[in-house]
Amino acid sequence: MQTIRTSLFEMTVPDIFENPGVVLESIRATYNKGDEWVTIGVSPIENSYYTRQKGQSLKEKFINFCLNRRGPGKLQAEQTLEINGHTASICRVITQAGYFFYFGTIAVDEAYSVDFVGDCESHLWESFLPLFETSFSSIRIFGAIKEAAELQRQGISQVFGGFKKDEEIQYTYAEPTFFDIPQDNKEYFQVDGKHFSYLDTSETHIPLHGNTGSDLVVTLKARIDHYDEIAHAHILNDYQNGEVYFTFSLNNIYQEGVPKGAISFEKDYDVKREAYLWKGGFTYNLELFGQLVLKDGWIGMNGYFQTITEDTRYQVSFAKKIPLEVLSWEHYHFSSLEELFSAPVNLPRHLRLRNFNASSLPDEFYNYTSLETLSITYDLNSTIEPMPVNLPARLGSFTRLKELVLGGWHMVENIPEEISALYNLRLLFITGTQATSVPPNLLALPLLEYCNLSNNKLEVLPGVFSPSLKSLSLEGNQLRTVPSALCDLPKLCRLDISRNPLEFLPNGIENIEKLTLELEKKQDLLDYTYKGADGKGTVPIQETVFSGLYDTELEKQLSYALMEEYWEPYREGIRSLAFASVALETTDPDDYSDRGNTRFGGLPDLPCGITYPVFTTYDNRVMGYQFIAQINCEELASYQNYLPRQGLLYFFITDQEDFNAKVIYAQETDVLISAAELEIEDDFIYDDHGVFAPYRVKVGKYVSVPHFYNDDSLYKGKAASLSALEEEYEQTENLRRQLEEHTLSVKPVHSMNSYVFKQHDSPQIEAANQLRGNANDFTVLLKVSSDRLPGFCFWDAGEIYFVIHKSDLAKADFSNVYCGLESS
């Protein structure tokens, strides 16, 4: 191993990498064997590189950045960990060009990070992944990152020269150079004076996909003439052999049969946030500025690339003819009345008017009766005067409509009967009005599948509904009941009746697959008793075995932790809520040499007669579940009294977008087929992460107490006074830490019968909502946290949890387990 050091950080590089060295404030190392090139590069970086992307957190923006950083790519895995006291994120990407990238970022402060890139050809990723991981995790930061980043920026500027920043430069592209059609009628594509030749794969089309129409999509693909990897390194990346592309997704550009308009881009974004740009083949630190022009059958731009450090610019110009004859405008969604009125009345099929700003629709609009989808929404804060008090009855003349969306018409009091004549409607959204009722035949339209009438003032519903109805949202109205006819609809699988002053509900409404309603109302108005996983009812529950007071050792630990006078007002309340929990910590890689041991990740050791679980996807593929863990109940027997005394528990999920769970219990485990013998490959697993890395586990026990964050449902009886702890974060975290430290060498990375930090509700409440019953009768069978060892990362470093009814646990029946996710 070789340790390389800059003024900011040091990193250990495996010996296989040749001549690792420092360039400016960066470290670079390479490995070359024949045609195989593998590189590692680490640099200080401004967070603005990431934050221009979409996302709620720096990590989300970092991931979105990485997915196109080296050309279009697919996310293989991502995780969060701690390095040298700093939060770090990892994103592994396989690109369309056939390369594997290990992107890492260590957030040093709010403005700067250390950026890590390891890359190799995709077929080599399993060989080099451990080396990338070793190098990334070895980084130690000790210097001043702001100064290092500035030295890096200055050095790059000296290398590449370019357009220097001074006081007079305006970096908002307010007065762009306007594009005009070339006088010689020849197409061109230039960057920094370098000529590119268009590729035949360039394309202009209006995609057929999408029920409500599509944008005009223009993809310009080109290759630089006389490509030189070194000479062109300032504008082109080093892995697409000089090929580049721009893809523009454009709307509100139709004018009398041709695309026309001008869209200003700054830092790769349309300033109005209506058009979209994707680009590839260029170096990742270049952002596009300029005005894209559509004119007389041409598309073009005279603009520039600017480096993220804002000290270098490169001219960008292109001109390309648009093959007007191939454009299918009937698939295009029009975005304004002006655009619509420039089209023949029989052409437009789709119209979407967002943030509509007129008090009425002009008569000319009603000539466009070929429309198949129509959306007209007002801004919620609209101050249009006068606001319409009626929905236009003339909308009933659009008899070809399949989808109608009317949102934000907040002064409307009546929904006209004429809309009931839209017999082809499959989707109907009317939201945010003052309407107290709907026409008697509106919800009986024969083809209606999806209907959203939320946030109106509806007091009553008609009694007849379409047999085609699949989803109905009535959230936020004034309904006191709903018609019993809803219970008999053959296809209705989603019904949202939350936030209504309901007083009565018909029998059978609880049988709708996805019923959204407050748990208290379910329990008050429905037969919501838990029937047992086997449908035969429940057995008595021995509650004491779940309590932290049941175990003498744990009770002593809890009493010691609560000895301070500070806890006097809360002592009995906390004791009443304490759980006897099992701590599970991953330790070393599992080579499958021990069959039936407790294991996270990898594959399971299955008994004879139990096959690896599969399911059929929406597109009729038979795919494997994602294996999470196997728990050896005998290994855990001495740490708790609620699990079976022997046998194996197996935990699976479908994927991280749809957390359907499968938990299998095998009591007889004398003969097991080793995981090493299972012929399960990554591409058989439905989840994009494939098979996780297998890890062994240490076991311990500890007392789990609430997080005291939005835990209102717990503050009852002896625990009523604990609401005051909602504001005592430091004290409660110290208590939790003290209790967890009693597990000695076992950290509760994963756990059983424990609390889960939740933004809203608890896992038990979620399970009761889904499975029926009382929340207190459920327990967290297993909590699985994001864990860098097996490679678990559930969304943004979240946790998944498997929840079971305590009666089913007593019966050792694991066939009705709920699985959920909590992520920041």
Report pLDDT for 415: 94
pLDDT(172) > 50: no
Helix extents (H) in 562-697: 571-577, 633-636
Cα–Cα separations (whole angstroms), residue 322 to 217, 313, 732: 11, 28, 64
Q: Say which residue, 8 or 56, is predicted with more confidence.
A: 8
- Start-to-end CA distance of the chain, whole Å, equals 37
Cα–Cα separations (whole angstroms), residue 90 to 53, 63, 736: 16, 8, 28
- What token pair was written down for 374? 């129509």
474-517: pLDDT as tens digits: 999 999 999 999 999 999 999 999 999 999 999 999 999 889 99
Q: Dump strand ranges (E) for 63-148.
A: 73-83, 86-95, 99-107, 112-121, 140-141
Residue 56 buriedness (CB in 10 A; 0-12 / 13-18 / 19+): exposed
State which fold the 2-160 domain adopts. Answer: Protein Transport Mog1p; Chain A (3.40.1000)
* Mean pLDDT confidence for 708-712: 86
Class of domain 546-822: mainly beta
574-623: pLDDT as tens digits: 999 999 999 999 999 999 999 999 999 999 999 998 999 999 988 889 99
Chain-centroid distance of CA 775 in Å reads: 28
DSSP letter, residue 71: B
Query: What span, in angstroms and rounded, lies between the C-alpha atoms of 329 and 257?
Result: 8
Phi, psi values for residue 396, rounded to 5°: -65, -10
Report pLDDT for 475: 95
Q: Is the peptide bond before 176 cis (omega within 30 degrees of 0)?
A: no
Query: What span, in angstroms and rounded, lies between the C-alpha atoms of 244 and 197?
Result: 10
Note the pTM of the prediction, 2 decimals. Answer: 0.69
36-78: pLDDT as tens digits: 778 899 999 888 777 767 677 778 888 888 887 776 778 888 8
Query: What span, in angstroms and rounded, lies between the C-alpha atoms of 794 and 659?
Result: 10
* Mean pLDDT confidence for 135-148: 88
Contacts 24+ apart (CB under 8 A), 740-743: 740/583, 740/702, 742/557, 742/702, 742/703, 743/583, 743/700, 743/701, 743/702
Asked whether 368 and 390 are in contact (CB, 8 A), the reply is: no
pLDDT(170) > 50: no
Beta bridge partners of 9: 141
Longest dimension (CA), the chain: 91
DSSP letter, residue 547: B
Query: What span, in angstroms and rounded, lies between the C-alpha atoms of 272 and 270?
Result: 5
pLDDT(381) > 80: no
Phi, psi values for residue 400, rounded to 5°: -90, 0
Q: Which of the listed CATH numbers 3.40.1350.10, 3.20.20.10, 3.40.50.620, 3.80.10.10 matches domain 354-525? A: 3.80.10.10
Query: What span, in angstroms and rounded, lies between the C-alpha atoms of 284 and 52?
Result: 13
Chain-centroid distance of CA 473 in Å reads: 23
pLDDT(165) > 70: no
190-206: pLDDT as tens digits: 999 999 999 999 999 99
| Burial letters 242-273, b for 16+ CB under 10 A, else e | bbbbbbbbbbbbbeeebbbbebbbbbbebeee
pLDDT over 90, % of the chain = 62
* Domain boundary assignment for the chain: 2-160, 188-328, 354-525, 546-822
Helix extents (H) in 532-580: 552-561, 571-577
Of 15-19, 39-43, 363-367, highest mean pLDDT: 363-367
- Percent helix, strand and coil across the chain, each rounded to 5? 20, 35, 45
186-242: pLDDT as tens digits: 999 999 999 999 999 999 999 887 788 899 999 999 999 999 988 999 999 888 899
Asked whether 428 and 399 are in contact (CB, 8 A), the reply is: no
Element (H, E) at 21: strand 18-23
Element (H, E) at 735: helix 729-741
- What token pair was written down for 818? 């709920």
Query: What span, in angstroms and rounded, lies between the C-alpha atoms of 227 and 223?
Result: 8
Query: What span, in angstroms and rounded, lies between the C-alpha atoms of 263 and 405?
Result: 27
At 788, the amino acid letter reads: R
Polymer length in residues for the chain: 824
pLDDT(269) > 50: yes
